[in-house]
Structure 1
Amino acid sequence: MACNPFIRAISLTGFDPFARRQGLEPNRMLRQACLHVASLQRPEDILSFRNYCRLLTLCRQRSNNALFGLEFGLHQGVDVFGDMFFLIHNTRTVGDALRELRANFALYNGAAHLYLELVDDIALLGYRADEQEIDGLAQAEELACGVGLRLMQTLAGKPWQPEAIMLRHAPLADEGLYRQALNITPTFSAAHSGLLFNASVLAQPLDCASEALHQLIAEHLAGIERLSTDAMPGYVRQLLRNLLPSGRATIDRVADCMAVTPRSLQRHLAEENTSFQQLLDETRQQLVRKYLQVPTISLPQVAHLLGYADVSTFSRAFHRWFGVSVLEWCRQSGVNRQPLLLRNRVKERP
């Protein structure tokens, strides 16, 4: 699965206001990139990195701003790290903060690597995606450099500037525009994408360091699953929960959201000893137990939330799953829904 990496939706931090300032309609751009609009409010969601790059490409084209990715990264700054920023900001030194970030980067980004290399008195904070043939990757790498610059200025002080900003691609716009945005002209067509700076800054102490707070946040982050290509069923379940109410929870739609073909998705799920239909049934069974606990949700509404066109189709599926009718299941489970369910059933009679 290395060819299908994922990132957390926290990567969309600040997208709504920034896109609007670029003259774009954020929700429309997300939908065109096959990204779920609700992910703007759910930073823990999992997105396809390929579709995220597609979003940056579409935004660049529609805004006519060749530096959309770079400026978006500068806009996001340290906010894009969420709770992880408080973890790294409570280490002892700038170097400790960067090493902590490198060690935990896979919590939020499984598609790329953050690395810190030292050669004599020069340090390189670099960013490299696993896949190199992705449309929009240049936008993503410039975004990462923008975030990296803001991170270093937060850790080392606002006046801090790198000795060089390196980008692996050719300029996407006039070099003067880069200098205007970064106060430095990047080195293009370089071997790496990242920031080059004097290694002495790594020893600089952080004023806000708190070992107790660092430990508390570390324990919190330890409960977050690292993005792994072995967790494909979990990604599918999440997408199904997002897509079921719209009635679009098909294998074609899910595969599109994950930037894979339906056949490839089925093959990878088979390697995990499951299938799309099995995950769809399991997700619906999990959700229906929750929905039926809420008396104010009518039976037609439950059917709709699970992606069924009508109550009768839902009822047949429910009987197949649990071996009893919805009303009988509610009685057995001690859920007091019978009057409401009966009213719904009467309404459906011709």
Structure 2
Amino acid sequence: MRKSVFVLVLVALFGFHIDSFAQDETVSEKVQPGLLTEKGATMVGRRNFVIEPGFQYTHISSNRLDVTGVSVLPALVVGIIEVEKIRRDILIPSLTFRLGLTDAFEFNLKIPYVARYDRYTFGADSLNTENQLDRITERVDETGLGDIEGGLLVHLLKERDGMPGILAGLRVKSRTGKDPYGLRTKEVGQVQGAGRTINTELPLGSGHWALEPNVTIVKTVDPAVFFLNLSYFDHIETDPGDGIGTVDPSDSINIGFGLAYALNDRFALSTAYEQKFYDRTEVDGKKIAETDITTASLVFGGTYLMTNKVSLNVSVSFGLTPDSPDTQVSLKLPIRLAF
């Protein structure tokens, strides 16, 4: 079933005469909102090369976290974790490259570096003691290369006669980041014979290759642009060894929609809603309970055109469900070069 889906996507991507389509104008002829670019709703353009340094900060907190089995948000975890509180901060500086071969076809590549900081707090209940002062906090951190990803974007249909434009893409995520399997652990909280096991190493990637075909529908109502993005994120199953078995992490159906609007020829704002529906993780063909989650976020962004070749993109995302990251802040500085 999955193979047939990907075949259909590839046929759709390359079955059109892409050179016959010109790039649609977005909110303005000069400023392109970063949120539209992230969602595959804008193109770099013919013979343009973009270098984009970026930085992303994500904060995640949860009370009474109890994960059994395998989870993939925000990074895959194997085993049992029982804590009263968990606080996770993830810093990701990255470098993204975009190459426009024609007005309707481009390649992109993203190289992230991940710095992750986890803090676990164990309370009296989790340590099996009546003394409320028996509270232990453990901190673990890890830094290193994340999962490199690349893809292509094709402009299938141009806006015309009231009809929206359609863009399609395919993203491939590697497994270059430190995977979550075989990590060192230690036991903490040896109170009255009760202890808890936590990792002393943290994963920086999912440990799996993944594919994400996506389609974006764009409609311009000057000075605003409306967009709808649909994608399917498919993890490729693998056997990491160590007797774990064949692991197929949760795949997800992703939906996002929103609008961007220009205040002038140098500044634009954007707003979007994003939701992801995860299915259950499977280990040796058996579904793991409590791994089918739903996340949702509200995103606000702004773009300022500093020069004709350099812009600044800022976005802030707020989680709307218990499984969503609490806050995510993103800064990007696209630099456009023509050749």
Taking structure 1 as the reference length, the TM-score comes to 0.22
Taking structure 2 as the reference length, the TM-score comes to 0.22
Structure richer in helix, relative to its length: 1
Structure richer in strand, relative to its length: 2
Choose 1 or 2 for highest CA Rg. 1
